[in-house]
């Protein structure tokens, strides 16, 4: 990718509006836990089992597969694998939030503050497109 960059900033024909949803951490973590349970219920374990022969591939060293591979290897129990998926997903979400919070262009809102979000979008719609990286 870096070999394709020219060093010039490009001009976009549109304005970028960055919005973040600031969910309270306990609620975010509860949602992550429910999502993991849903994924397991919808076949994550079976999917991981089909991919097990390819477990050495970098693309499969991700949250969800990695923990089930440990279970298939007999290093942990199925319940431990699911709990590790939840924990590792929460940790990943925390790292993502840390990264996004460093972006001063993101405007953060409460998840149920629809009016403020729409007002902000409306207020930024009239702003001309900026040149450069956003």
| DSSP string for 60-103 | G-STTHHHHHHHHTTSS-HHHHHHHHHHHHHHHHHHHHHHHHT-
pTM: 0.79
Cα separation, 83 vs 125, in Å, equals 43
The two tokens of residue 80 are 């431990």
Q: What confidence category does residue 9 fall into, taking pLDDT thresholds of 50, 70 and 90?
A: confident
Total number of domains in the chain: 1
Q: Does residue 118 fall inside a structural domain? A: yes
Please check whether residue 19 lies inside any domain of the structure: no
CATH number at residue 33: 1.10.287.890
- Please report whether residue 1 resides in a domain: no
Residue 87 falls within a domain, yes or no?
yes
133 CB neighbour count, 10 Å cutoff: 8
Q: Tens digit of pLDDT for each residue in 77-126?
A: 999 999 999 999 999 999 999 999 999 999 999 999 999 999 999 998 87
In a domain, 55, yes or no: yes
Q: Which domain holds residue 37?
A: 24-125
Domain assignment of residue 9, yes or no: no
């Amino acid at each position: 990718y870096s070999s394709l960059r020219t060093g010039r900033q490009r001009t976009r024909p549109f304005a970028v509006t960055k919005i973040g949803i600031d969910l309270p951490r306990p609620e975010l973590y509860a949602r992550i836990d429910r999502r993991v349970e849903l994924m397991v219920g919808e076949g994550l374990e079976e999917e991981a089992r089909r991919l097990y022969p390819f477990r050495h591939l970098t693309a499969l060293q991700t949250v969800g597969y990695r923990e089930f591979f440990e279970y298939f290897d007999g290093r942990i129990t199925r319940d431990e694998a699911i709990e590790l998926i939840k924990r590792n997903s929460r940790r990943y979400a925390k790292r993502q939030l840390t990264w996004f919070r460093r972006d001063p262009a993101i405007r953060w809102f409460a998840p149920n503050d629809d009016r403020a979000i729409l007002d902000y979008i409306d207020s930024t719609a009239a702003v001309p497109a900026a040149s450069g990286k956003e």
